[in-house]
Amino acid sequence: MRRIISLILLAVVALGIALCVIHIPFGAPKTKVGNYYIDKGREQTGATNIVTSVVVNYRGFDTLGEVTVLFVAAIGVSAVLATLKKKFQKKIEPPSLVLNAGCRFLFPLILFFGAYIFIHGHLTPGGGFQGGAIIASAFLLTYLGCRGRRISESRSKLTESLSGLVFVLVGLIGLAIGGHYFLYNFLPKGVLHSLLSAGIIPIIYIAIGFKVGSEIAGIIDKLVEES
Amino acid sequence: MLAAAISASIFKDLMNAVIASCLVSLIAAILFFLLQAPDVAMAEAAIGAALITAVFVIAIRRTKRYEE
Amino acid sequence: MNFIHNYIYYIGAFGLVFIGIYIILVKRNLIKVIIGLSILDTGINLFLISIGYISKGTAPIFSKIDMENAPMVDPVPQALVLTAIVIGVAVLALALSLAIRLYHHYGTLNLRKIKEQRW
């Protein structure tokens, strides 16, 4: 009974949406704001990756909101799972030698790869969120491979808080020094295609990379705790 | 991709449903690349196909495995 | 045939959206509902990026090789979808931790039984 009603409802809604979507042509240029960002993006921000300059420079306040949402979710996971009673500790069998050595060998390589991605965020595709996710998956590898090792919780919380603070402080300094709005790009723009260019964009992306990586590693640590 | 999504709703074993949703995420990452968006493809592949699946598997281990 | 070839991305994206809504409405297990939420999220992100596509355009990154003035794809929907993917992760992590907590309290994850046990 429930299935039939929901299928009929979905068919009606699908018909309505199909009548609206037909009028959207696929592959035709639609807006003018994108063309403005592509034309003026290089000289106004100094970054060659246009998506990065839109995320950090032109719409930087939305990125601050998203970092806040991720922070609230990490706090929520810690708060909800904090009061579960622990059963008696099961005996964890030690992992085999090949697995243990392999995971310990791969861990710094993956960290370097993630750091490369978020440092070169304004030159190549990539950026803070992708690099942070790769760093978090390096920590996931140690949870799966070398069982019984945990990351220290106080150090990850310290990294996360300091990175968030760096982001807000850079924005406030921009407000105080030159411009009339938050997150003003006040450092010199530099030469195109070089690493030290595009003002405050590398600094913000490094802070976001550390923050996202340590946050998701903290979430996985809370969920794995043997209860 | 649509076949993977339909089979994610049919399976009774929850592990199989999670792996089907990981397949949906992976094919979506390839489609993002074909639509000329490399940043979004990298983000979807790293987050949707690796971290989300791992979090689901850890949560299923702490609760029941078979749907009633 | 040409009609389907033009709109195939829209059909795929909305197919995912409707399968996700069907799973949320009909299924009884709580973790199945959360899987449906994840599929719904992926469908909406695919739709947003397929709107910003321009025919024969390239990715919006200036590489070292000076290319001709080729048209570039719209960069604004890509910035929005980058944010939306990360927020999807946050919502799913919090939902799964609440599901674990519910399992410890009620002993089952069947939504019919949980609704009948209201104080």
Q: What are the tokens at A41?
A: 């993006």
Confidence band for B3, pLDDT divided at 50, 70 and 90: very high
SS3 A48: coil
Beta strands in chain A (DSSP E): none
Q: Where are the domains of chain C?
A: 2-55+72-116
Minimal C-alpha gap between A66 and chain C (Å): 7
Look at the alpha carbons of A35, A206, A125, A136 in this order and tell me if their dihedral is positive or negative. Answer: negative
Q: Are the CB atoms for A81 and A87 separated by under 8 Å?
A: no
Is B24 exposed, middle or buried (CB count within 10 Å of its CB: 0-12, 13-18, 19+)?
A: buried
Summarize pLDDT for B16-58 with one digit per residue, the tens: 999 999 999 999 999 999 998 999 999 999 999 999 999 999 9
Lowest-pLDDT choice from A130-134, A220-224, C97-101: A220-224
C69 falls in which pLDDT band (50, 70, 90)? low
pLDDT digits (tens, 9 = 90+) for A92-139: 677 788 888 888 899 999 999 999 998 888 888 888 899 999 999 999
Partner-chain residue, chosen from A24, A62, A192, that has the shortest CB–CB distance to C51: A24
The residue written with tokens 């690349």 in the block is: B33
Task: Tell me which chain C residue has its CA closest to the CA of residue A68.
Answer: C87
Looking at residue C31, what is its pLDDT? 92
Is residue A72 scored above 60 in pLDDT? yes
Cβ(A195)–Cβ(A120) under 8 Å? Answer: yes
Q: Which of residues 49-88 of C touch B (CB under 8 A)?
A: 49-50, 53, 57-59, 61, 73, 78, 81-82, 85-86, 88
What distance in Å separates the CA atoms of residue A2 and residue C86, rounded to the nearest whole number? 33
Exposure string over A41-78, b if 16+ CB within 10 A, otherwise e: bbeebbbbbbbbbbbbbbbbeebbebbeebbebbebbb
Average pLDDT over residues B2-15: 91
User: Rounded to 5 degrees, what angle do the CA atoms C59, C61, C62 make?
Assistant: 125
Listed residue (A61, A74, A56, A62) closest to A212, CA to CA: A74
What is the per-residue pLDDT for A178?
A: 67
| A6 neighbourhood in chain C, CB within 8 Å | 22, 25-26
User: Quick check: A227 pLDDT over 50?
Assistant: no
Does C32 contact chain B (CB < 8 Å)? yes
Q: Is B1 on the interface with A (CB under 8 A)?
A: no
Measured N-to-C along each axis, helices B14-34 and C8-26 cross at an angle, to the nearest 10 degrees, of: 160
Q: Give the domain range for residue A162.
A: 2-224
Q: 């595009």: which residue's tokens? A: A198
| pLDDT for position A180 | 60
* Tens-digit pLDDT profile for residues C12-64: 999 999 999 999 999 889 999 999 999 999 999 999 999 888 888 887 887 76
C16 and chain B: CB distance < 8 Å anywhere? yes
Contact (CB<8Å) C45/B67:
no
Q: Would you say residue A56 has pLDDT above 80?
A: yes
C8-27 burial: b if 16+ Cβ within 10 Å, else e: ebbebbbbbbbbbbbbbbbb
The Cα–Cα gap between C109 and C31 comes to 8
Q: Could you give the angle at the alpha carbon of A168 between the alpha carbons of A164 and A173, nearest 5°?
A: 145
pTM given for the model: 0.89
Which of B36, B44, B51 to mutate against chain A (most A CBs within 10 Å)?
B51
Query: Which tokens hold the place of A183?
Result: 């997150």
Determine the Cα–Cα distance for residues C63 and B38; give it in Å rounded to an integer.
13
Tell me, yes or no, if B5 comes closer than 8 A to chain A by beta carbon: no
Q: Which of C81, A20, A63 is closest to B32 using CA atoms?
A: C81
Mean pLDDT (chain C) is: 86
CATH number for the region C2-55+72-116 comes to: 1.10.287.3510
Tell me if B58 and A129 make a contact (CB, 8 A cut-off).
no
Contact A146, A130 (CB under 8 A): no
Mean pLDDT of A20-32: 82
CA gap A102, A201 in Å, rounded: 36
For residue A94, what is the DSSP state? Answer: P
Least confident piece of the model among A62-66, A128-132, A213-217, C51-55: C51-55
Closest CA to A185 of A72, A73, A69, A41: A41
Instruction: Return d(Cα A97, Cα A146) in angstroms, integer.
Output: 10
Which residue is listed with tokens 């791969």? A106
